[in-house]
Each structure stands twice: as structure tokens, then as C-alpha cells.
Structure 1
Amino acid sequence: MTMSVPPARGILTECVRVATAAPSLHNSQPWLFRIVGAAIEVYADPSRRLPVADPDGREQMLSVGAAVFTLRVAVRSAGYAVRVEGFPSAENPALAARVTAVRPTRADRDTETLAAAIPHRHTNRAPFANVPVPPEPLRQIRAAARREGAALTVADAHARDAILEMARSADRRLKARPDYLAELSHWTGSQVRHDGVPSWAVGPWDALETVPIRDFGQFVPGPRTSEPFEPHPTIVVLATDSDTPRDWLRAGQALQRVLLTATWLGLATTPISQPVEVPSVRRMLTTPPARAQMVLRIGYGRMAGRTPRRPLTEVLLAGDNVTGRGTGGVATAR
């Protein structure tokens, strides 16, 4: 059955607003949307790619994929079945995905659960409780990754320590890159803005220097705060079987399903991106042909609050003001 009358534009606009709650590297929110009939097109915003930390746009596409998954949940929660096309136009590689409301249908329980978690999901850069995550929640988040065509591996004690050392090494290498600190500083601060990592979301420095949280705090005025983090964090690695832009888009959707599932289960999450931003380190995280897409720290922590989001006027495009350029889902807004 094909829908003869598409959802009201107001419904789809609200779905776009919900989709902007997705996570992104440095809270850069590198996405653009356009409503065309019953479809919402999702593009990557090239002006928001981080050229030092993410020169090939892989993490940008993960962010866009996370927005696509959030959009899927929002449209399903609004009462419509969804069709998703990844990179649907060979003529326009700028178009990362098209999410179409195909017919009215009642949202299932899984959709309702994920939708309820969306406003509560946030990156938590604070210490977690020094208790292990039980097997059942870990089973559920692994299943969440599999549903989106990815694999989530929970590191054992030996692998955990190795990954944390890789992350510390990668962090040092990133800081040695020209303009890396300037790029980090650009996305950090207390000035009034709708993106980036505000001062209150930076979190303390790990007094034990166990968990390599990205150091946004060096750009925040005032004395640095430090707290002891959990000495044995739960670390998981999200991976795909190959490493093309389609895999990045798929991995982003898997990442958001994992994060929303974890949020619903009462778990806090922190991306540890540094080891996947240094190619030589990234290759050490998995056994070929699998490719690591993201490393996450998972545990139980106090609420940290959501970072701000760009207004719809900045991300929702009208008419034909999107043109394709390059590959991998890059878009230019005129």
C-alpha cells in the first residue's frame, strides 16, 4: 500500500527537529535536511567537517548516520512506516540518505522505547560509578548494533587496558598535528552559540589519568577541576565489515541505536574517538576485514545535561538550495 497523501509538513518538520538531537564529533552537528513530499533528504554539511581530526569525513558520516537513525525513529514514532535509502542518487553523491514516510502505521514498542530515550541521550564526560556493567545490558546493546549491520565487542580486561593505552597514544599524536588544538578550541567555549562543547559540558580531568577523555577543558577559563575516574571502565568497540562511506553511514545508525538503547537502560556513555582518528592506531583495534568505527566508554554516571542544538532555520533547507560536490555525502548549501 502506497500513501496517497503525505504527512503534513509540520509533522515532518518536527521529525527533523528531533533528528538534530543526534550526537556528532565536537557537537559540530554537520547535517542538513530537506523535505520533499513525504521524504526527508539528509545531507552532510561540508562547512562543518573537521579537517584535522576527520580529514576523510568518516566521523562526519557517522554523525549524519546517527541523525538518519534518529529521524527514522521520529517518523516511526509519528505513526508512519519508513523506507530508508542510503546514497540514493548516483548523480548526486551529496545526498547521504532519503527517509520516506510510506504509509500510516502504529509505532511498535521498540520504537516507542527508542523515541523516549532521544531527549535524554547525551555525552557524559564525568566519572562513572566504579561498578561493572552487568551482562544483560551489554547483551542488549550488542544486539542493538547487530540490528543495524554492525558489531559491538566488549573489551575484556587485557583488551581494555590495551585500548586505553592506544587512546592515550593517539591523543598525543593528534595534539602533535598542526592546527589540531586550534580546531579543538574553535568548538569549545562559553560564548553564546548553538553548537560545540560549552564550558559546563567539558567535565573534569581524570585525576588518575586512566580514561583519555578529549581535553576540551584546556580552553575553558578558570582553574582546572579534576576527579578520579573509574579505574576499570567498560570499553566497547563498534565495527563494520568494510570501510566505505556506506559503511560509515551504517555505523552511525548503529551507533545511535546503541546509544539510545544504553540511555533507556540507564547507562551513561562517552565516545573515545582518538584511537579511530589515527589510522595506524585504528588498524590495531580490530582483526581484518573488520574496521573499527568508534570506541565507547559505558557505565553508570550522574546526569550531565544535553549540549545545545542548531535551530531549524540553519539546518532545514528549502527548494533547490542544495548542490552536490565530491563524494561521501557532501553537500553545499547555496
Structure 2
Amino acid sequence: MLTRRPNRQSGDQWSKTETTTLLNAVRHAPVLHPERPYVLQLGERTASLYQLGAAQRHERAGINRLVYCGTALANLFLAVRSLGWRATMEIAGDGMEPDLVAVVRAVARAEPTAAELWLHRRVERMDPYWAEPSPWPGEATALDRLLASNWCPGTDLRLLSDRSEVAAAARLVLHAGRRLDGDRWCADELRPWLTPQPSALSPVPTTEQRPVATLVEPYADAVCAIAARLVSGPVLLVCTRGDTPRDHVLAGAAVQNARLAAAALGLWVRPVSRLIRLDEVRAGLAEQLGVDGYVHALLRVGLPPEPES
């Protein structure tokens, strides 16, 4: 999890307290897998994230890993700010080390804002990443503020609202559930949508479907059930204009920022990203929902989970 560059006795090294703060921020980043796909390296007032398994970065599983790296990056940047530093964030690109994801650099002393301190404290107190939100209360103002909270360049949060879009998304969710049958992580993400609620079923308008959805078209009742669950609470799409490793990392940062912003608004966000491993689902979400770019995750929004008794 943590490596160090050789100490050059420059006086610009992180203190033990600062090191603990940075390490805890990365440890508390959300990740669905048992193994975290990154390692943190500390240098002279720098904190760098390196990707593990970078050889597979161009595979769909590699996209998921980079998204999770992005969630850690958002926490890391917030931790540096909480330590009283003005920070810059450098996302890796061509010409940089092949396994490097990003570097957060402390450039000058600057007091954190009260909001930044609150969010940093919240990082270590958030419930597990996979906890399900409680039912949506129908608070439009809070949802608008959540949509406006995204600060990650090149990313957008988009509300899934049109009923024809819901129908298309339902078909793709069902397709993903069938294709990834046996993937327990995907099953855990999709279970709330794949468990039907017969009393809540409502007709879903039929629209001309592209070939990607024809595999699941015969299952009309199942599509209706999933669509009913999709409209029971807000669903956001995390989108980017590009599809480079940099975009994948920034999408992950947008996911984590949405989780933290939701917490500040008294809401809860549960990301769904495993279905993006399927090319036809990823392409179908963009094409059938009219997204000018690429979809990296869906976010279910509700109230915080009920405490376990």
C-alpha cells in the first residue's frame, strides 16, 4: 500500500503524522474488490499513486481499476488540503512513467476551508462502499445541488430521467446481469435492480432498439420490473468526453466527489460500475441514452443506509 522514495534529508519530507493522514485517506477510498489496484508512494512533498496490474490497462477490467484509482486520488487530494497545503493534481499521460496514475503535489501553505475539513473527516467515517441507500425522499433541491457539485474536469453527472431512457437502461442492466452471471461483485451491484417488485410495475414505452439490446428484448416482464426499480429513485450517469486512461481516473474522482457531496447534503450514493466491463453495455448506454461521450458508472441516490440493529 505504501512505499517511500529515499530520504534525501532535504527537510521537505512528510512527517509521520502527515504520512498517516495520507495513508488513511487512500485506505478509506472505496473499492469493490478485495485487493486495491494501486500503491501510494511518498516523495518530497509529493504523493503519487501507481497502478497495479497496469499491463491490462486497456482491457475493460483495467478501466474499472483506473476508476478505483480515481476514487483514491480524490481522497488523497482532499487529505493534502486538510494538512494545510495548496495542492496541484497531475494526471499521468504520455511521456510519464507507465504505471503512474497521478501525482498530488503540495506547493505552498494554505489553510483548508471548513468544508474541506468536514469532507476529510467524513472520508474515514463513511459507511461501506457497497451499502445500499435508503429510499429516496423526493428532494429535488438536494439532487440539483448534487449534480452541480462535480468539480472534476472533463466529466459530467447526468440524470437518468426520460422514461424511454429508463427502458433502454433496464434492458442493458438485464443483459449485463445475464452475461455476468457468476460474477458476485456484479451481482451485488445489480441486485436491487434485478429483484422485481410486482406491485410497482408500470408500462414502459417501447422504442426502436439498437442491436445491442436485442438479446434481452424477449424478457419484457423482467425489463418492466427493472425499469420500475430504476424510476423509484434518482440514477446518475458519470460520463467523460474522452476514453483515455486520464478520463477513467477523472471519472473515478467524480464518483468519489459525488459520494462526499451527497454525504454533505444528507444523501447517500451507491456506485454501479461492474457492468461497464461489457463493451456492448458501455456502448449501449452511450448510444441509447444520447450521451455525447463515454459512461463509466451509474450512481444510485437515496438517503444514508439504516444503521444495523
TM class, shorter-length: 0.7 to 0.9
State the identity as a percent. 22
Instruction: Give the Cα separation in 1 of the matches to 2:296 and 2:156.
Output: 10
In 2, the alpha carbon distance for the partners of 1:71 and 1:268 equals: 21
Aligned pair in 2 of structure 1 residues 233, 160: CA closer, same or farther (>3 Å)? farther
In the alignment, structure 1 residue 281 sits paired with structure 2 residue 288: no
Structure with more of its chain in helix, by fraction: 2
- Asked if structure 2 preserves the Cα contact closer than 8 Å seen for 1:23 and 1:29, the reply is no
CA deviation vs aligned residue, 1:237-274 (integer Å, no higher than 9, x gap):
01000100010011111111111101221212222224
* Residues 273-304 of structure 1: per-residue CA shift (max 9 Å, x gap): 24422111211223364100111111114246
- With CA pairs under 8 Å and 6+ residues apart, which has the higher RCO, 1 or 2? 1
Moved over 4 A (4+): 47-51, 202-205, 228-231
Residue 295 (structure 2) pairs with residue 292 (structure 1): yes
- The offset of 1:111, in angstroms, is 1.4
Match of 1:128 in 2: 134
Cα separation, partners in 2 of 1:48 and 1:145, compared to 1, 3 Å? farther
Which structure has the bigger radius of gyration? 2
Compared CA separation, residues 124 and 230, structure 1 to 2 (3 A): farther
Aligned to 1:106: 111
SS in 2 for 1:145: coil
Equivalent residue number for residue 8 of structure 1: 15
CA distance in 1, matches of 2:174, 2:258: 24
Give the Å deviation of 1:129: 1.8
TM-score where L is the length of structure 2: 0.73
2:179 is the alignment partner of 1:173: yes
Deviation digits for residues 161-208 of structure 1 (CA, Å, limit 9, x no counterpart):
432332121111122xxxxx3x648x99xxxxxxxx9xxxx9998462
Question: What CA distance in whole angstroms lies between the structure 1 residues aligned with 2:234 and 2:262?
Answer: 13
Unpaired runs of at least 5, structure 2? 1-9, 201-227
Deviation at 1:89, TM superposition (A): 7.2
Match of 1:223 in 2: none
Structure 2 partner of 1:238: 238
> Structure 1 unaligned runs (5+)?
176-180, 189-196, 211-227, 306-334
Indicate conservation of the 8 Å contact 2:77/2:104, yes or no. yes
TM-score between the two structures when normalised by the length of structure 1 = 0.68
Q: Given that residues 145 and 258 in structure 1 are in contact (C-alpha distance below 8 angstroms), is that contact kept between their aligned partners in structure 2? A: yes
1:32 aligned residue (34, 39, 42): 39
Greater mean alpha carbon deviation, residues 258-267 or residues 108-117: 108-117
SS in 1 for 2:33: helix
Distance in 2 between residues matched to 1:30 and 1:98, nearest whole Å: 16
2-structure distance, mates of 1:163, 1:205: 12
- Going from structure 1 to structure 2, the CA distance change for 1:205 and 1:241 (only over 3 Å counts) comes to closer
- Cα distance in 1 for residues equivalent to 2:48 and 2:57: 22
C-alpha deviations, 1:203-248, integer Å up to 9, x for none? Answer: 99846289xxxxxxxxxxxxxxxxx979612111010001000100
**What is the Cα deviation at residue 55 of structure 1?**
3.8
TM superposition shift of 1:9: 4.2
